Structure 1
């Protein structure tokens, strides 16, 4: 008998025992390891999304499930019967804020359009389409939520996820420290119920000795609800290029999609994946970072190229913009804003193939990746194929949805503001289009007797009727809030687009006008900024921030008396407005009223003794009236607080030199 046969016979009892164990565990309803838990992240606690409520005391089956009150900041308020009635299809739409319907609510989400379409196309079935999209939810949170919803008699999970994978802080120590082959072997064993049972035993022992945490060894422990890195005090500064992290995030994403398929299968439900799409053409990267250390001279050249290229793009000098951005991109191919600007210029010049390459690179090189990286859509397609699950490829749908009319814009084949309100959230029409294709896929699954393709006109009339009953003011307010968030993130161009849409819906709106003023300021257009701010102040004359910013723009044009009047008005109405006090001192200084500016700066210091800008400018005003000794004292105080301030060091050297000259002059005259 050969060695191989001897080994096979010796292992046969082990295989038989393993098979018997698996069957036994299956009979008692034990979960596989992959279904039971995420090997890479754990949660401090689990808060149920839906809780029981009573809806009708006269009915014996009146128990309903409703979104828990403490979850409604992240989820739409949804209600459905706890016990699914006969002839009912229960569909859970899973994902993040796109599924939720941001910046609006469920009423215009693809879930709502799908709900209405299914009711129209399949009236013989009672449809329950439940929006379970959670704001900022990444795939690992979606998978954990699916475990809860698997107990609520689902028939179908529609999963749209992939944009939020980098929102929360995770280290992935267990992945980074291990080898690829070991992880692959572990994932194979996690498909078994034996692993799940063993993991439960280990978890019970671990939690018995570590009652303060639910996370297992090697897991990143996350809060029960999302805490994004952007919400921290450092914001975008929390993000830096980390190619290794990006690689393991994609690996974890693939694992989560596979987990979802397993959870759905064990709940005897279907799963339908949606490939996530994003705004490629009209969304600047959130953050760029140089990929290598460069000299000060190279850095200055690079910055000049970017500034000149951005200005050329703003002035619609597209060939010049293309050439300048190309030079910048050659200096650093991984600088996202250089690639984005080049892509924008190429779009305007009609070179769409190259434009798509550059815009895709800009998205993938974004150091703060709040849009799904290129690897994510591919993983969705691959997992759907491997699980033989239906998939709706949203990016390809959008690319193919360009009108065939002669006057249509060919650039629309690259998704932009025609389909998206911001970086990832579709327009209402985008949600409608996605719902149409989801309905078609459900028809292909055999759940509808009516083919949606044959009822376009009927669906059009239904959708137009629903749109006519939507509150335009509510939509305008949502767009205004979106504009404010984008402006806070420094995405002034995207914010301005949302602000204009908000004004179209709301008419006059001071906050939208303020956002447009911020955009004009960022484009070095103080005249336009002043016009927007004056209009905002017409609507709200007491808005201190807007009047202060009006003064700033007037200063940029050298209109110092007008700026001083604006600051004085702010201070009269809001005495504690420190920015206006500082700006007022600057205006006095620019007007040559140095003694008054010194008094104003000293008042600022009484309010904040460690304000570095005040200390620096006060020293400058003292220099102007030939008081270098006092100027030196304030500069020395500044450098005690911030020893790295090079400008202060240079000014102090100059002041000390002046003091030395005064001393020599005194000696000569004595």
Structure 2
């Protein structure tokens, strides 16, 4: 009887083994094929958690020279690739520039700013480093985490230019699925899973590009083609603005605790071609009509009101800029009033006439105005 039972157990094990063995062999074969494919088709750079997790790091030690810090490879999808000495050299002024894509895109202006600052500040400083911490679609929720990191890298001054992404960042938070980051890291250690992930991502990107091209062909002034998953109530807008204020204030206090100078800036956005949807886009036609009638002051006032009350939006408004002004005043830090500088430079003093590439990003001429406005206040901050 015992012998019979043993044979039955052995038979069951064989059945299980021969049932699952082909599946295991198939999966291993697919994994091997995927790893071979990655030799010719490297996986997409991905930042699991999208910078929302507490353990997220923008900079890591250079694996080839531990004296240096480099941009984390996973972060290069959203940040400039940079390298600098962990221990600041003697006679060096080190500046970090915090913000979103507007800061990321102004990277080409930073070397000339460094040279001008060095010239104005010699002989005190032999070198000026400006490290770009502008992340695509980054708002203050994630910039706080970056600030907590970079205050440990011996900065002398931090520049802050953030205000376009406070609602966009909520969408990013949903996409990040931070509750499952550990599981994602395990799954994407598999080349086969990376291949599947990348094919899905490539398809989604192609669809977004197709939609973007269709909107461009439509040539609509307010971009009514872009959609968000959530329309915020007035209370939610107020709560988000309070969070924006608290986040900026936390960054400022982090710097103050370590005697790091701060320059914060107002953030202009495009009032000629804003990115609006639905009812707000329809209402904005009144602004465009006033502009056609050359009633510029009235048009600007109405445009500011509509954008201020619009939800969701992917550009700054008076709400953000009033908070920036308040924080600069209460914390006694220099305010780089980029908004006023852009207003003064536009022919009819409406941001968006000549100085923007799109609804929120300044063009090269606009970026020069932004950088020069910062430059003046940096020199002021360092002289105090």
TM-score scaled by length of structure 1: 0.40
**Structure 1 residue 80 corresponds to structure 2 residue 100:** no
Q: How does 1:177-576 map to 2 (within 5 A)?
A: 236-281=227-272, 283-288=273-278, 335-402=279-346, 409=347, 411=348, 413-447=349-383
- Tell me what 2:28 maps to: none
- Tell me what 1:129 maps to: 130
Label 1:54 to 1:284 Cα distance change in 2 as closer, same or farther (>3 A): closer
Q: Alpha-carbon deviations, 1:309-361, whole Å to 9, x = none?
A: xxxxxxxxxxxxxxxxxxxxxxxxxx322332111121122211211122113
Alignment partner of 1:93: what SS?
strand
Alignment partner of 1:72: what SS?
helix
In 2: Cα distance, 1:45 partner to 1:385 partner: 30
Higher RCO, 1 vs 2 (CA within 8 Å, ≥6 residues apart): 2
In 1: Cα distance, 2:231 partner to 2:62 partner: 46
User: 5+ unaligned residues in a row in structure 1: which ranges?
Assistant: 1-41, 57-61, 173-210, 214-229, 289-334, 403-408, 449-670
In 1: Cα distance, 2:64 partner to 2:289 partner: 58
- Tell me what 1:164 maps to: 165
Compute the displacement of 1:417 (Å): 4.1
Q: Alpha-carbon deviations, 1:122-165, whole Å to 9, x = none?
A: 34311111101111111111111100001111111100011100
Give the number of the structure whose residues are more often helix, by fraction.
1
Equivalent pairs counted in the alignment come to 291
Compute the displacement of 1:388 (Å): 0.4
In 1: Cα distance, 2:182 partner to 2:63 partner: 34
Compute the displacement of 1:385 (Å): 0.5
- Tell me what 1:114 maps to: 113
Q: Alpha-carbon deviations, 1:191-246, whole Å to 9, x = none?
A: xxxxxxxxxxxxxxxxxxxx989xxxxxxxxxxxxxxxx99999615132421211
Q: Which of 49, 64, 67 does residue 58 from structure 2 map onto?
A: 49
- Tell me what 1:69 maps to: 73
**Structure 1 residue 98 corresponds to structure 2 residue 102:** yes
In 2: Cα distance, 1:420 partner to 1:373 partner: 15
Alignment partner of 1:162: what SS?
coil
Q: How does 1:628-643 map to 2 (within 5 A)?
A: none
In 2: Cα distance, 1:148 partner to 1:435 partner: 24
Q: Which has the larger radius of gyration?
A: 1
Label 1:273 to 1:237 Cα distance change in 2 as closer, same or farther (>3 A): closer
In 2: Cα distance, 1:159 partner to 1:380 partner: 10
Q: Is the 8 A contact 1:64 1:82 kept in 2?
A: yes
Compute the displacement of 1:367 (Å): 3.2
In 1: Cα distance, 2:129 partner to 2:263 partner: 16
User: 5+ unaligned residues in a row in structure 2: which ranges?
Assistant: 1-50, 174-180, 184-203, 209-224
Q: Is the 8 A contact 1:278 1:372 kept in 2?
A: yes
